[in-house]
Amino acid sequence: MDQTNPAPWFNYPKNGDLCRLRLFCFPYAGGSALIYRGWLSNLPAGVAVWPVQLPGRGSRYKEPPYVSMPALVNVVAKAIEPFLDVPFAFFGHSMGAMMSFDLAHVVQERFQLQPKHLFVSGSGGPHLPRTTANIHDLPDDQFIRRLKELNGTPPEVFENPELMLMMMRTLRADFEIAETYPRFSGPPLDIPITAFGGQDDGLVAREDLEAWKVQTTSAFNSWILPGDHFFLHTSDTIVLRILSQQMRTILSEID
């Protein structure tokens, strides 16, 4: 399959003329477009939620996953271009936050377009050095043990050896993307950034979340929500309430 073809990349509702704002959503390591399956019904009318389906998972599980952020962002930029015909925003969690940030820069440089808002979640600033050890190249048993500690993989995956084997390649690839991410040293964006963090997140400290502030010359705000690194699921109602408020503001500005 040609991975530059837009068709497989976006799981989105066929809402026709109702779309006034596209919210592209990017998953965390090992995640799929299903992370955002319930969001459409919880955001204001006129907002179309377009989750990004990366190779190696879901309907694309037979495709080899990417192991480099620059390569992945490059191909997503090609796929996303035809769908930037209406105002748009980006949301990404953890690995997806870095991906959405890099994509915002690429879209600006290549197409002279900008997201109306960048929402980053569960991630420190892209310019900060890594402080945790890599796990993508660990032996299987150690890699699986670390995955369990991170608390982001459903227990049923570990209980099903065939499913675990099927997901191992994608999980390792995603962690390689996150762990080899080149620290950003370019100019800041000129769009609002909202950062979300978990109050019990052992991977992202409050000051690391606040570091996103230097990546924009526009407005910045941050929210610390109940939960660990995957507060996106346990505090989803709060995340969606905040997003809804922001979406209404954006919609009012593009009328």
Q: By three-state DSSP, how is residue 201 classified?
A: coil
Torsion, Cα of 240, 241, 243, 245 (10° steps): 160
Identify the sign of the CA torsion 90, 93, 98, 99.
Answer: negative
Is the residue at 7 inside a domain? Answer: no
What's residue 161's pLDDT?
Answer: 80
C-alpha 125 chain-centroid distance? 14
The CATH number given to whatever domain includes residue 90 is 3.40.50.1820
pTM of the model: 0.92
Number of domains forming the structure of the chain: 1
Is the residue at 37 inside a domain? Answer: yes
- Full domain range(s) for residue 23: 16-254
Q: How far is residue 99's CA from residue 72's CA, in Å, rounded to a whole number? A: 8
Task: Give catalytic residue positions.
Answer: 94
Q: What string of pLDDT tens digits covers the 255 residues of the chain? A: 334 445 689 876 655 557 899 999 999 998 999 999 989 889 999 999 999 999 999 889 899 999 999 999 999 999 999 999 999 999 999 999 999 999 999 999 999 999 999 999 999 999 998 877 788 989 988 988 888 887 777 777 778 887 787 788 999 999 999 999 988 889 999 999 999 999 999 999 999 999 999 999 999 999 999 999 999 999 999 999 999 999 999 999 987
Is the residue at 181 inside a domain? Answer: yes
CA nearest neighbour of 233 among 152, 118, 147: 152
What's residue 146's pLDDT?
Answer: 86
Is the residue at 3 inside a domain? Answer: no
CA nearest neighbour of 53 among 15, 1, 120: 1
Is the residue at 53 inside a domain? Answer: yes
